[in-house]
Amino acid sequence: MKLLSINFGHDASLCVFKDGMLIDFCELERETRIKHHFGLTSDLIAVYLERLDMGFDEFDLVAVSGTQLWGLFHSADIAVTYGYTPDHAKFCRPSPHWASENYRFFDGVTGGWAVHVEREKLSVSPSPMRLDWGPVFRGISSSFTAITNLARDFTGAAPDVKSQMQARCLTPLTLTIGKISKPGFFVDHHAAHANYAGYYSGAHSIMVTHDGGLVAAPFTSGGIYLFDKADGALPFASHRLALGNIYDLVSRQFGIDPGKLMGLSSYARPNKHVDAIIRQYSQSLHAPDTLPPGYIATLLATSASLDQVLRDKVIAKFRFGFKDVALAIQSAANTQQLVQQVYVEQIGSYCEKLSLALDGYSRVFMTGGFSLNCPTNTAISQSYPGLDFRPLPAVADTGLSLGAAVAAHYFLHIPLKFNCAEGVMAAAFPPSSLDHNAFDEIQSGLVLVDVRPESRVDFVADSLLEGKIICLHRGRSEVGPRALGRRSIIAWAGLEETRDRINRSKRRESWRPLAPICSIDDFHDYFVGDPEECRFMLTTSKVISRAIPAVTHVDNTARVQVIDKEDELLYGVLARIKSRGFAPVIVNTSFNCASEPLVETVADAARSFKKMRFDYLVTEAGIFSLPQPGDTPEPQTHEMALLSP
């Protein structure tokens, strides 16, 4: 059986399964070069399938997902029609939960995306929001006895009962492209997040999803799901948090995205008045499903009070560009304190109760865009050491197409063949049909550096110690917003001015921090924390050394990525740096220019490398530098002028 899965929302993606095996995944922004690519056209789908020697007519089934409370935007020759049809009967029986009165439908879009829709002349099909979720918790303040009873009812339910639980997460539809129609299912946004997590957990797990959605109905801002390898993800509790939405709204006040707000929050400490807002918010979780009126205004007013706790000496080093710098910084710190404390207390306590109620459910996978909040991920893990909290590499909406496909497989009882060992997460979905390495160095205008393959590790290490900045393009790209050494810009972490040069060349704000890469062998010499939680740069660790200023943030933390011998190049580079008496920690930031997605192909890499004008581009085709006046595109040998320890 062949299944095509599509995320029509922002961070659009496509993937193909054949007989239960993931055979390809495509993150659209990497190919169109439009950051957070939104909406799909039939041409983009056709080009993708042509690479796989497939056509839309070959597929048996489709799975569809999108941004919650938005319509599905696409070219005019694509149509989505909801309803159970005879074609669906080949796969499943109808469910009473698919009656139209159980839904509201949305065909709009918010924010600046409306301009994109108009510019690209996209049409829209409605997307459903389920109103009836049956026997699930609405909120997360239930007693341990109630949690235990419902959890045992869920896990001990008969297969047909579990199937009906899953039916609430899916809505039958027909997807038409041109004159070809295929049956399929729309998969609820957060159910897709949970099933993406399930694909990589492979065993009994609790799935927590959360992002910027509102609490308009159950599971629209996120939820808690129970997952096992036999049944997939079952919706258990709608937590009714709107923390991601709060983060989005405060970020919007200052014209920055939520990720930047997280970095900005370190330039102040939360002031004492935010405690009252946290209490108010926690109490509101027992109220009707609305955010308290004027909540954001109250938060901002508190941040503007006389009791601002700014790190003044550090702030003076940077240009922030806000109309009211103190207000922006204090608001960021207060917002971070609010979302972190509420999430840790509410989600942590609930998952602990669930774990006590059910044997074998000690792993908690966190997904949805809110799980990019590194300080919160660290805080919840440290606060509940009896649970194994794991944020996932593609936590944001990129992974929705994979999750929708997984949900459809489980609902239809089609066995999945997992591409990874049980309990192992992968930052790069296997495989990709895209030719990442098509490259002509003559046409690129770059100069090939004469470095033998066996000397590559020494060359990179020595270049870093000379103060050079290197761009990496290696193998299959990581999926999601974190570059982890395959599409990275690296430098030695011992030179603080390196951070400023990288930020300037990438046109990033000067105050934004850079992350480090460290060998698992050396982690405890430079950081405090659990190195196993640092595989995907989704947690923070305390820095305990003054030798790595380029990656030490103002609050003395860093978002560390830990590597081991499996990464032969970077592990060898770090060992070489250490052998010369220097701190074996290097800078790692994503290989892209401002407002661009990460580079995908080596041709993308060459273009961005030339724009930023760093020192070397390391690819599988060789190492390249920028041409100097009088250079010809012939191999050049570079000698190092190394630093002394």
**Using one digit for the tens of pLDDT, what is the confidence trace for 459-496?**
999 999 999 999 999 988 888 888 999 999 999 999 99
Q: Which helix (H) or strand (E) holds 410?
A: helix 400-411
Of the candidates 513, 517, 509, the residue with the CA atom closest to the CA atom of residue 491: 517
- Say if residue 134's pLDDT is above 70: yes
pLDDT tens digits, one per residue of 157-171 = 999 999 999 999 999
DSSP 40: B
Provide the pLDDT confidence category of residue 174 given band limits of 50, 70 and 90: very high
Give the H/E segment covering residue 225. Answer: strand 222-228
Give the model's pLDDT for residue 422.
46
Would you give the DSSP letter of residue 511? T
Residue 579 has pLDDT above 70, yes or no: yes
Q: CB burial class (10 A; 0-12, 13-18, 19+) of residue 448?
A: middle
Which tops the pLDDT comparison, 198 or 172?
Answer: 172
Q: Are 25 and 13 in contact (CB under 8 A)?
A: yes
- Residue 436: strand, helix, or coil: coil
Tens of pLDDT, residue by residue over 310-368, are 999 899 999 999 999 999 999 999 999 999 999 999 999 999 999 999 999 999 999 99
pLDDT at 114 (0 to 100): 87
Question: For residue 93, what pLDDT band results from cuts at 50, 70 and 90?
Answer: very high
Among the ranges given (52-66, 430-444, 461-475, 530-544), the one the predictor scored with the smallest mean pLDDT = 430-444
Across all residues in the chain, what is the average pLDDT?
90
More confident residue, 370 or 419: 370
Greater confidence (143 vs 628) lies with 143
Instruction: Considering only the C-alpha atoms of the chain, give the largest distance between any 2 of them, rounded to a whole number of Å.
Output: 78
For 408-438, letters b (16+ CB in 10 Å) and e give bbbbbebebebeeeeeebbbbbeebbbebee
Range of weakest confidence among 35-49, 128-142, 221-235, 484-498: 128-142
Residue 643: which pLDDT band, with cuts at 50, 70 and 90?
Answer: very low
> Hey, which of 139-143, 437-441, 565-569 has the most confident mean pLDDT?
565-569
Q: Are 493 and 516 in contact (CB under 8 A)?
A: yes
Per-residue pLDDT of 236-295, as tens digits, reads 999 988 899 899 989 999 999 999 999 999 999 999 889 998 988 888 776 655 555 567
> Is the pLDDT confidence value at 595 over 50?
yes
Over residues 388-415, mean pLDDT:
92
Nearest to 588 by CA among 512, 474, 487: 487
pLDDT for position 644: 35
Q: Are 496 and 467 a contacting pair, CB within 8 Å?
A: no
Residues 370, 363: Cα–Cα separation, whole Å? 18
Mean pLDDT of 5-32: 94
Give this prediction's pTM.
Answer: 0.93
Reported confidence tier of residue 307, pLDDT bands at 50, 70, 90 = confident
**Number of helices followed by number of strands (H, E) in the chain:** 20, 28
Q: How far apart are CA 44 and CA 77, in angstroms?
A: 12
Q: Which of the two residues, 266 and 638, has the higher pLDDT score?
A: 266
Three-state secondary-structure class, residue 182: strand
According to the model, what pLDDT value does residue 233 have? 94
- The predicted structure's pLDDT at residue 641: 36
The pLDDT score that the predictor gives to residue 108 is 92
H runs (alpha helix) in 580-620: 602-612
Please give the average per-residue pLDDT across 500-504, as a whole number: 96
Name the most confidently modeled range: 18-27, 247-256, 548-557.
Answer: 548-557
Structural contact between residues 198 and 166, judged by C-beta atoms closer than 8 angstroms: no
What integer is the mean pLDDT of 503-521? Answer: 96
Pair of tokens at residue 73 = 């935007």
pLDDT at position 464, please? 98
**Cα 245 to Cα 69: distance, rounded to the nearest angstrom:** 13
Residue 633: predicted pLDDT: 46
Q: What is the pLDDT of residue 637?
A: 40
Neighbour count for residue 620 (Cβ, 10 Å): 11
Inter-residue contact 481 to 372 (CB < 8 Å): yes
For residue 238, the cross-strand partners are 138
Q: Are 350 and 380 in contact (CB under 8 A)?
A: no
Residue 550: pLDDT band (50, 70, 90) is very high
What burial letters (b/e) apply to 124-163, b meaning 16+ CB within 10 Å? bbbbbbbeebeebbbbbebeeeebbebbeebbeeeeeebb
pLDDT at 631: 57
Please enumerate in sequence order all residues whose Cβ is within 8 A of that of 145, keeping only pairs 6 or more positions apart, or say none: none
Average pLDDT (400-410) is 96
CA distances, 634 to each of 242, 449, 471 (Å):
57, 8, 20
User: In the Cβ-directed half-sphere of 307, how many Cα atoms lie within 13 Å?
Assistant: 10
Confidence of residue 628 (pLDDT cuts 50, 70, 90): confident
Flag whether pLDDT at 639 surpasses 50: no
Q: Which two tokens stand for residue 469?
A: 């900045």
The domains located in the chain, with CATH, are: 1-133+168-187 (3.30.420), 139-161+190-397 (3.30.420.40), 441-625 (3.90.870.20)
Distance CA 483, CA 492 (A): 17
